[in-house]
Structure 1
Amino acid sequence: MHHARPMPRRPRQLLLGTLCALSLLGQAWATQAQASSDYQQPSAAVRELLDAPNLPRLLISPERRTLVQLSQRRLSPVEELARPMLRLAGLRFDPGNASPQAGTPLQSLSLRPLLDPQAPEREVALPAGGAFHAFHWSPDGQRFVLSRRTAQATELWVGETAGGPLRQIKGLRLNLVLAPLEPVWLSPQELLVLALPASRGAAPTPPKAPSGPTVQESFGRNSPERTYPDLLKNSFDQALLDYHARSQITAVNLATGGLRALGEPGLFSALSISGEGAQAVLLSERLSRPFSYSQPWEDFPRTVELRRRDGTLLRELARVPLKQGVALEGVVTGPRAFFAAPGKEAAVFWVEALDGGNPNNKASHRDRLMRLDPPFKGEAQEVQRLAQRFVRLSFLDDGQNALLTELDRQKSWLRTSLQPLAGGPGKTLFDHSLRERYRHPGVPQTRMLANGRQAVIAAHGELLLAGPGASPQGERPFLDRLNLKDLSVQRLFQSDENAYEQALAVLDRGRLLTQRETAKQPPQLILRSGSGFEEERVLTQAKDPSPQLRKIRRELVSFKRADGVDLSFWLYLPPDYRAGERRPALVWAYPLEYTDAGTAGQVSGSANRFSSFAPLSPLMLLMDGFVVLSDATMPVVGDPKTVNDTFVEQITMNARAIIDKAEELGVVDPKRMAVGGHSYGAFMTANLLAHTKLFKTGIARSGAYNRTLTPFGFQSERRSLWEAQDVYLKLSPFLYANQIKEPLLLIHGEADNNSGTFPMQSERLYQALAGTGGSVRYVTLPFESHGYTARESVGHVQWEMSQWLKAQLGDPRAPR
């Protein structure tokens, strides 16, 4: 238990007066909250931040000549969430326009030459009548496409980079139920999309009465399934999914607006192209029956096929089975994870398990990579065997090699190799922990090919690697060049200590494009040149949308917990904080599992980042006077198989060290500290209140509190309830509700669609706390999912958190 330093004695009358004021404040807030069921508004300072515009999103054309600036709406009205929606097989979509629910539409779009900051921007008018989404460049950068959602359809619109208004492709209605808009380019002016079939007919109507019961069976076969929302329930649900998810592969000529239907409609979930020109082939995946009542659509059977450019079937590659009878963290047997090579030579690749798909089986190799070449007849050839489980395949633009990444599940260790696509031994390039920050080599940079596909840049046998450059002092982004022959590394660029500058692209004539920001300066594009990129020219000037945030003070604080593991948090002080004050504080955290203490203590973030708070961020509480300890590291270190055996003990050790360090800094009142988190952070919060007396109150948003309701694993837990019953019970704060005596604010979206965090989790914890004499407030947000997006909801959540902390910890600005 944490022991705070004794506070100075105060007159009894002052102490009684303070306690009385806190009691009256809590009663007044409770009365106000009970009297009205309307959405509440946060303070004016927080409301102003929530309604401030987003910083523009910058996109560079494939040939590096044009810059587009996109302004997206920050929050949506709750009326949009309230639109009719279908929930089928883990999907949520608007049946009127065949698109996923919600999303953040564009508010404005402008273009200008990339390297000429003096050139005027061209504003592209967005026609009224719908919401525009999903900007995509053509491979030559001469055109771009957007989707527009209306109540009746999702349309495709095209714009010309050189000028002119947007044009709608008439007669085309997109179907985005199973896949987002990701154009497949046949040429710079012709693309493939998934559209609603022309002869669709009417939607199925529900039967007046069921034709019979819904039956599920399992006979002696282990089939552990995670808990999922929105699953199919009956044959009518199956018919609805088949109707709404069925799409037609359609070729669209952007110049003429002409449309061509390719092949027959199907439940297409993926489409890509391999090769170029007349030799190109299409790789398609479509769902097939039987559907499942216990798994989401991603685990349904799939038929994988090769098609000619006109859509006619060339060859069926595989029938991937329903993911049933598969071990936890296992994979299906047979071909899976299909890839179309992006280069000129058409080839397709896939992965097959060699260990029966079961990670618990002993095997010298777990997966193998297969390749099939034109004319796509006969058997595929084995390219490479993997000792560990396949993770990722990234093709190089040389057409000869790829980056092949595998994961050692037992050690949580990643290895990436340079793999010749023709076969033969690979060369290890990167080898590090899954959560490595300090030694992370960076991310290989990519470019768009002539067929619209992305490939890793491998010019002159070298890779360009961009990374955050994490270190104990914070992040300093870098750009390295890796020689693939001798694996030597040359640092081309690294941000200085007074800014946060990321390399975006290496241009011709030895020039480098970067994005730079500081704590007080918004991100802006910089063109660097010279032998060491020391010469610079500013290309953009962004306006600060929230200048009031520049008064906030931020500091990275590092320390150790009792067993020597390094910890840290970002200390944020409110704009009106005065030196010497000890204010109430909120600790906001999210637990992460690590295999070793060295990795667990690695720092992320930078004091040079330009502050721009997300709408749901607890940092908004700074504007109401609270101190916030954000991104407080909450590591749980141990063997991946048993790490949760000491979960409670380790988060307790973390929390105690955080409080001790915050008290040592002299800016917080250790007797007025709250803990909070979202999702797994909410789970952490409830466990800390159940098993410690370290915090005076807690805020838990969209969490899971009864692990018997997630019996086949959660987060990183690999064992089932029946294999680790004691752990599941100990880690269920619901079962310790009678020990939670500190007040707890529970918030949950009523339509939470995240695996394991059904709203019932908060409902049951509320009932348990209320039934055992606890102090609890439970807020359910209409139409909201795991993350909250409506303007009304976000404002209300910020009001709830602020009022709750004031009621439980006191007014942060009141003299003490």
Structure 2
Amino acid sequence: MNLNIKLRQLVCAALVGMAFPAFSQVTYQAPPKAIADLVNAPSTPSVSFSKDGEWMMLLERADNPSIEELSQPELRIAGLRINPATSGPSRSRGVENIKIRKTKSGEEIQITGLPSKASMGSFSLSKDEKYLAFINTESNGISLWVVDLSTFAAKKLTDGILNDVMGNVLIWTPENQLLVKAVNPARGAMPQAPSAPAGPVVQETSGNAAPSRTYQDLLSNPYDETLFAYFMDSQLQLISLDGTSKTVGPKAMIKSFDLSPDGSYILVDIIKRPFSYLVPASRFPYDVEIWSKTGQKVKTLAQIPLDEVRPTGFDATVTGPRNINWRADKPAVLYWAEAQDGGDGKVEMEEREIVYTLAAPFSGQKQKLATTSLRFGGIAWSTDDFAVLNERWFGARREIRSVIDPSNPGAGKKVIIDRSYDDIYNDPGDPMFTENEYGRNVLIRKGNVLFMTSEGGSPEGSMPFLSTFDTKTKEQEILWRSQAPYYERAVKLLSDDGSEFITIKESTDIQPNYWLVNTKKRIAPQQITNFAHPFESIKNINKQLVKYKRNDGLDLSAVIYTPEGYDPKSDGPLPVLMWAYPREYKSAEIAAQVRGSKYRFTRLSWGSPIYWVTQGYAIMDQTEMPIVGEGDKEPNDYFIEQLVANAEAAIDHIVELGIGDRNRIAVGGHSYGAFMTANLLSHTDLFAAGIARSGAYNRTLTPFGFQYEQRTYWEAPEVYFNMSPFSFAHKVKTPILLIHGQADNNSGTFPIQSERYYNALKGHGATARLVFLPNESHGYAAKESILHTLYEMDSWLDKYVKNKNKIDTSK
């Protein structure tokens, strides 16, 4: 059967099965020109620095794809979305141009010889930084390219042979060759669907509890299994800079691969059967093998079973080895963690996990490196006598960082940080890294002193800083801090003493740009990029960070935008669009902390509410909606009452400021923000209208947990019922606009959530509109879809908010 015909049949069958509510097909529309022009503004290049910071790479990304591009054939299997024509991801949008810019001189060099109609990705510098490798997605495959950084010329090394369905696709060897994951040259043509099924699809359980969250795009029949095996079929190849190649190791369903730092061994994850219809490919069984650099198997390190049966709770994990990686500071030493509690976070244990190592040639016994009382969260390596061990525990929102001596595991660990990771006021930051002789990231340090960067949270908003942190005394010294009216972050350290570094600096109306800062020399910071302001039409809008209190005394905050030149005293109150996303906390003190900065650049993404400042609205963005449950209490036990209190406090404050018209306030959000919106309209009459994009509204459809709710439906049925807007559809009297991507790939937000909620609203006489966007996933990508979404939102706001008083209520 022709692939396009099969996919069309699958789509038609899915649409019939979903039984969408009857409504007319409309053509794509555009919002007002002022909004459309902002959507079409050019994107800003992304930046990557060389190891010494002497030059930077500027990556210019392509604009949003068209709906025609987004509608190309796509396979949705095993939690993956595959372009069958390329053996790569179906929804990737790559880089279209590369430039090199010298940091100090400002000289800018255009890379020549790049592919036409480029869609580039997976950029990787060779360890000596003489070459840059990347992949390019073409119409019928993914090719390998390389740039010679002495001539700044690109050339194509292979045809479209690479396999980028899952995991990584390329890595440099120390000899400046490229080890790549290619399509198995002998895999043949794509399997055709059988004309008739061989029999029913059967699943069976034998009494072992196997709770699983709600996943999208799972395997559903034997043909799906065949397709998955076909597209995973891979062969490692070694590609030289002249384009010659040789195979490395056997063909297999290769999930991922990684060279040892010295290039002598390859760590390979190989997926095997049985596959699952309950969980995505990331949880299928796989073997962890160690190969020589020429592809001979040295050892099977682990055989990871199918991960269908796992205890409930976000602190649950798998048994056996996990997070298997190479030590960054050694030629060929592996490390990993093994849970000692059966993967069950409810089991009380002092030594919950053990971290092991195994050195080449991998014939000895694993060695115990360290133990953790929380879940293992990784290791930041430095040298053989210094590393930082990370542990985290979701239930307590806790993290522990400890210094360990890998050369002397018996010495134990020294805790240097033990804190709530939600606490931004007391966040010492994260360590900075550099590359060692193996091209691996290791800590920047001087003896016991680390260099750290922090968001610098404070009651006045974030003021990022660069500091040293003495791991012996636990004392922190701030070397440099962002100063008002700017938001500035250190991103690259250039000197051993922390006196010279590169920052990215922005302000409300100043586009983020990179600066060279030297705190020792008495010279002014030097601007090293000059990216243009992409949103000139809103450059002078007003922005303020506001703070106010909830009825229980909890401090809240939001960012308010108003039109250029607006004065509440002379111009009066405006219609308001309030945009938010709820978050759960285990501490009221931490929930009350101010997040964000009034000095951040006003950047618009496709889903931003700020567009409507051009239409005469006040925008209340990043409106804090904390849900707090301290101690043994779970936040969601108080979800509705605290959500309503948050909304009441936000409305009262913007009205008291003279900015907002109490009778013309809309609330909106995306995903969990949509869930919030529907709940607010179910339990209050505070708003003139609501906008809910890509949400979930019936929590019985996500019975094994959602968002930060760890309990199952059967453990807390009242919570699931009371938090579901679907349960209270009969109470909604406020107009609500529902928008959803028909191909939503996010766990829990199946399109049926919006379909069934709309039907419930319609059945109870609510004013509602449901818009399904063809071929869009959880985030919208096609330009036509984005413009139409903004059109729908603008029309809804114009009718039910801005012109609310003109609505004829007599009909």
Question: What band does the TM-score fall into relative to the shorter chain?
Answer: over 0.9
What aligned pairs does 1:57-206 form with structure 2 within 5 A after superposition? 57-117=46-106, 119-171=107-159, 173-181=161-169, 183-187=170-174, 189-206=176-193
SS of aligned partner of 1:584: strand
- The 8 Å contact of residues 111 and 161 in structure 1, kept in 2 or not, is answered as no
CA distance in 2, matches of 1:178, 1:188: 26
**CA deviation map 1:520-546 (0-9, x unaligned):** 222222222242776422222221122
Q: What is residue 569 of structure 1 aligned with on the other side?
A: 558
Matched, 1:454 2:438: no
Task: Assess, with a 3 A threshold, how the Cα gap between structure 1 residues 97 and 576 changes in structure 2: closer, same or farther.
Answer: farther
- The 8 Å contact of residues 492 and 532 in structure 1, kept in 2 or not, is answered as no
Task: Assess, with a 3 A threshold, how the Cα gap between structure 1 residues 507 and 673 changes in structure 2: closer, same or farther.
Answer: same
CA distance in 2, matches of 1:371, 1:734: 51
User: Post-superposition shift, 1:489?
Assistant: 1.8
User: Post-superposition shift, 1:578?
Assistant: 4.1
Q: What is residue 345 of structure 2 aligned with on the other side?
A: 359
SS of aligned partner of 1:522: strand
Amino acid paired to 1:713: G
**CA deviation map 1:743-800 (0-9, x unaligned):** 1000000000111000000000000010111110000000000000110011111111
SS of aligned partner of 2:785: helix
- The counterpart of 1:654, out of the listed 646, 656, 659, is 646
Q: What is residue 281 of structure 1 aligned with on the other side?
A: 265
- The 8 Å contact of residues 273 and 342 in structure 1, kept in 2 or not, is answered as no
Q: What is residue 235 of structure 1 aligned with on the other side?
A: 222
- The 8 Å contact of residues 501 and 517 in structure 2, kept in 1 or not, is answered as yes
- The 8 Å contact of residues 405 and 417 in structure 1, kept in 2 or not, is answered as yes
What aligned pairs does 1:260-279 form with structure 2 within 5 A after superposition? 260-277=246-263
Q: What is residue 300 of structure 1 aligned with on the other side?
A: 284
Q: What is residue 310 of structure 2 aligned with on the other side?
A: 326
SS of aligned partner of 2:473: coil
Task: Assess, with a 3 A threshold, how the Cα gap between structure 1 residues 488 and 434 changes in structure 2: closer, same or farther.
Answer: closer
SS of aligned partner of 1:486: coil
User: Post-superposition shift, 1:427?
Assistant: 1.4
CA distance in 2, matches of 1:569, 1:649: 20
User: Post-superposition shift, 1:430?
Assistant: 1.8
SS of aligned partner of 1:738: helix
CA distance in 1, matches of 2:196, 2:464: 62
Q: Structure with the greater relative contact order (CA < 8 A, sep ≥ 6): 1 or 2?
A: 1
**CA deviation map 1:392-442 (0-9, x unaligned):** 22222x244332221234322111112222423111122211312111111
Task: Assess, with a 3 A threshold, how the Cα gap between structure 1 residues 281 and 362 changes in structure 2: closer, same or farther.
Answer: same
Task: Assess, with a 3 A threshold, how the Cα gap between structure 1 residues 783 and 180 changes in structure 2: closer, same or farther.
Answer: farther
Q: What is residue 30 of structure 1 aligned with on the other side?
A: none
Q: What is residue 314 of structure 1 aligned with on the other side?
A: 298
State the superposition RMSD in angstroms. 2.0
CA distance in 2, matches of 1:37, 1:186: 54
User: Post-superposition shift, 1:739?
Assistant: 0.4
Amino acid paired to 2:297: L
- The counterpart of 2:464, out of the listed 470, 474, 477, is 477
**CA deviation map 1:351-403 (0-9, x unaligned):** 1111111111222222111111122113211111211112222222x244332
Runs of 4+ in 1 over 4 A off after TM superposition: 33-36, 811-814
CA distance in 1, matches of 2:185, 2:512: 46
Matched, 1:439 2:431: no
Amino acid paired to 1:234: N
CA distance in 1, matches of 2:335, 2:65: 41
Q: Aligned pairs, how many?
A: 776
Amino acid paired to 2:564: P
SS of aligned partner of 1:645: helix
Matched, 1:803 2:803: no
**CA deviation map 1:218-255 (0-9, x unaligned):** 1111110111111101111111101101211222223x
CA distance in 1, matches of 2:151, 2:101: 10
User: Post-superposition shift, 1:313?
Assistant: 0.8
SS of aligned partner of 2:525: strand
CA distance in 2, matches of 1:285, 1:544: 45
CA distance in 2, matches of 1:364, 1:316: 30
- The 8 Å contact of residues 625 and 812 in structure 1, kept in 2 or not, is answered as no
Q: What is residue 642 of structure 1 aligned with on the other side?
A: 634
Matched, 1:374 2:366: no
Matched, 1:385 2:371: yes
What aligned pairs does 1:430-579 form with structure 2 within 5 A after superposition? 430-508=417-495, 510-531=499-520, 535-575=524-564, 577-579=566-568
Amino acid paired to 1:808: Y
- The 8 Å contact of residues 141 and 159 in structure 2, kept in 1 or not, is answered as no
Q: 5+ unaligned residues in a row in structure 2: which ranges? A: 1-21, 807-811
More displaced, 784-793 or 437-446? 437-446
Task: Assess, with a 3 A threshold, how the Cα gap between structure 1 residues 536 and 130 changes in structure 2: closer, same or farther.
Answer: closer
More displaced, 170-179 or 707-716? 170-179
Amino acid paired to 1:320: I
User: Post-superposition shift, 1:164?
Assistant: 4.2
- The 8 Å contact of residues 180 and 239 in structure 2, kept in 1 or not, is answered as yes
- The counterpart of 2:698, out of the listed 706, 711, 724, is 706
CA distance in 1, matches of 2:368, 2:521: 44
**CA deviation map 1:541-596 (0-9, x unaligned):** 22112211212110000111011111000001023634332111011110111010
More displaced, 374-383 or 769-778? 374-383
Q: What is residue 615 of structure 2 aligned with on the other side?
A: 624
Matched, 1:745 2:734: no
CA distance in 2, matches of 1:43, 1:340: 53
Task: Assess, with a 3 A threshold, how the Cα gap between structure 1 residues 532 and 711 changes in structure 2: closer, same or farther.
Answer: farther
Amino acid paired to 2:243: G
Q: What is residue 676 of structure 2 aligned with on the other side?
A: 684
User: Post-superposition shift, 1:86?
Assistant: 0.5
SS of aligned partner of 1:646: helix
User: Post-superposition shift, 1:511?
Assistant: 2.2
- The counterpart of 1:207, out of the listed 167, 185, 194, is 194
SS of aligned partner of 2:173: strand
CA distance in 1, matches of 2:437, 2:804: 59
User: Post-superposition shift, 1:178?
Assistant: 0.8
- The 8 Å contact of residues 503 and 516 in structure 2, kept in 1 or not, is answered as yes
SS of aligned partner of 1:187: coil
CA distance in 1, matches of 2:695, 2:367: 47
Q: What is residue 15 of structure 1 aligned with on the other side?
A: none
More displaced, 458-467 or 759-768? 458-467
- The 8 Å contact of residues 629 and 637 in structure 2, kept in 1 or not, is answered as no
User: Post-superposition shift, 1:813?
Assistant: 13
CA distance in 2, matches of 1:634, 1:360: 29
CA distance in 1, matches of 2:681, 2:237: 56
